[in-house]
């Protein structure tokens, strides 16, 4: 599905909820059971005020499946636990995937002006490996990892001798596919600086006319994987440690208990001195003491 289609699908669903014209009604018991399930499966909390949103987003599933009502949908969901196709579709429908290229631009500036120069000089002194590992946890449709990949590939000091890998993961299989495809509309790329656009994108032809395709060299820097952040253990090699973790605008949907546990686990996967970037409305204050706050929702794991 094209990015534009995914957007209009969600906009359509959200629009209908705003107008209060969803086709199917969620009874109290069904809302309780679906929101408990969504929480258990994804960590996403759905307060009472998200009821209309859930109703609108899942109404489309009920309609697509040709079911008479939410009672039948709940029955199907029960039968498909824990990992049937409809469980995946339900998760894809309830996630919120808003993202954009160079969102919260100061994070990319910080990597460019602080993290990369420090790593390259440490390696030049023989005090560190020429290796950079990044994890974008909750990458949505890919704009965030592609933005960072552009910044890294632009940083000349990390030359051919460097082993650079970005892991980009999400629980939503639809957005992950769009991220892998790397095809964006003109609207999407409006926040990409022109010289980056020239160097890292191709203008689409034929069915992709008017669209922009990420060049293979940039795409090859990133491994896109389906990872539920709640899964324990994560499907990562025991030897996988990261220098940078971006987990931005993901934990706003989680409660404090889930956040606490997640940040503890990120800390254990970061190299000493590694950086954690979270969203502008998120904080580790009162949640995790495993990091030093640098400012601007950037945190560092202590070196010792
Ligand atoms: C609002 S988007 C943020 C995208 C990007 N990080 C940014 O800041 O622009 C949040 C993403 O987190 C993902 N997400 C939510 N719960 C998750 C979970 N339990 N495991 C992995 N990803 C999850 C959603 O599917 C969604 O794509």
Give the whole-angstrom CA distance, residue 252 versus residue 138.
12
Give the whole-angstrom CA distance, residue 60 versus residue 79.
19
Question: Which protein residue has the closest C-alpha to ligand 1 atom 11?
Answer: 138
Helix, strand or coil for residue 223? strand
Under 8 Å between Cβ of 281 and 252? yes
Kindly list the distances between the CA atom of residue 97 and the CA atoms of 69, 86, 127, 198, 304, in Å, as whole numbers in the listed order.
26, 19, 39, 26, 36
Give the whole-angstrom CA distance, residue 54 versus residue 11.
13
Provide the total of helices (H) and of strands (E) in the chain, helices listed first.
12, 10
The C-alpha angle 98, 217, 225, rounded to 5 degrees, equals 45
User: What is the CA(197)–ligand 1 centre distance, in A?
Assistant: 25
219 as an active site residue: the answer is: no
pLDDT computed for residue 18 by the predictor = 38
User: What is the CA(121)–ligand 1 centre distance, in A?
Assistant: 33
Asked whether the predicted pLDDT for residue 11 surpasses 60, the reply is no
pLDDT computed for residue 23 by the predictor = 80
Kindly state the DSSP code that residue 282 receives in the 8-state scheme. -
Reported confidence tier of residue 157, pLDDT bands at 50, 70, 90: confident
Reported confidence tier of residue 5, pLDDT bands at 50, 70, 90: low
Residue of 50, 92, 93, 95 best suited for mutating to test ligand 1, as the one with most atoms within 8 Å of CB: 95
pLDDT computed for residue 156 by the predictor = 83
Q: Which residues surround ligand 1 with Cβ inside 6 Å?
A: 42-44, 95-99, 103, 138-140, 144, 170-172, 175, 228-230, 248-250, 253, 279
Question: Which protein residue has the closest C-alpha to ligand 1 atom 2?
Answer: 97
86-110 confidence digits (pLDDT tens): 999 999 999 999 999 999 999 999 9
Question: Which protein residue has the closest C-alpha to ligand 1 atom 26?
Answer: 97
Question: Which protein residue has the closest C-alpha to ligand 1 atom 9?
Answer: 99
Selected residue with higher pLDDT from 13 and 229: 229
57 as an active site residue: the answer is: yes
User: What is the CA(180)–ligand 1 centre distance, in A?
Assistant: 15
Instruction: Using the CB atoms, write b or e for 152-191: b if 16+ within 10 Å.
Output: bbebeebeeebebebbbbbbbebbbebbbbbbbeeebbee
| C-alpha neighbours within 13 Å on the C-beta side of residue 238 | 0
Asked whether the predicted pLDDT for residue 2 surpasses 60, the reply is no
Under 8 Å between Cβ of 108 and 152? no
Q: Which two tokens stand for residue 138?
A: 């909750």
Asked whether the predicted pLDDT for residue 256 surpasses 50, the reply is yes
pLDDT computed for residue 6 by the predictor = 57
pTM score, whole prediction: 0.93
Asked whether the predicted pLDDT for residue 221 surpasses 90, the reply is yes
Average model confidence (pLDDT) for the chain?
93
Under 8 Å between Cβ of 44 and 37? no
Spot the catalytic one: 170, 172, 181, 243: 170
């Amino acid at each position: 599905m094209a990015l534009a289609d995914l957007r209009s699908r969600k906009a359509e669903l959200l629009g209908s909820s705003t107008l209060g014209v969803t086709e199917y009604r969620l009874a109290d018991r069904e809302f309780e059971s679906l929101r408990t399930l969504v929480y258990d499966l994804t960590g996403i909390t759905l307060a009472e005020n998200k009821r209309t949103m859930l109703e609108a987003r899942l109404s489309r599933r009920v309609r697509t499946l040709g079911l008479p009502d939410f009672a039948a949908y709940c029955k199907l969901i029960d039968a498909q636990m824990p990992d049937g196709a409809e469980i995946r579709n339900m998760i894809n429908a309830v996630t919120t995937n808003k993202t954009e290229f160079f969102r919260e631009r100061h994070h990319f500036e910080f990597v460019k002006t602080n993290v990369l120069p420090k790593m390259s000089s440490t390696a030049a002194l023989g005090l560190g490996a020429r290796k950079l590992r990044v994890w974008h946890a909750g990458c949505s449709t890919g704009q965030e990892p592609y933005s960072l990949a552009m910044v890294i590939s632009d940083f000349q000091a990390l030359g051919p001798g460097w082993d650079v890998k970005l892991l980009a993961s999400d629980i939503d299989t639809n957005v992950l596919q769009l991220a892998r495809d790397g095809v964006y509309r003109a609207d999407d790329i409006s926040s990409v600086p022109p010289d980056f656009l020239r160097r890292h994108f191709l203008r689409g032809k034929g069915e992709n006319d008017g669209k922009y395709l990420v060049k293979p060299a940039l795409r090859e820097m990133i491994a896109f994987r389906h990872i539920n952040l709640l899964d324990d253990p994560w499907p990562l090699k025991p030897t996988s440690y990261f220098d940078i973790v971006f987990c931005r605008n993901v934990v706003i949907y989680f409660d404090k208990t889930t956040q606490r546990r997640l940040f503890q686990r990120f800390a254990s996967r970061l190299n000493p001195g590694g950086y954690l970037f979270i969203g502008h409305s998120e904080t580790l204050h009162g949640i995790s003491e495993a990091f030093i706050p640098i400012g601007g929702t950037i945190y560092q794991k202590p070196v010792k």
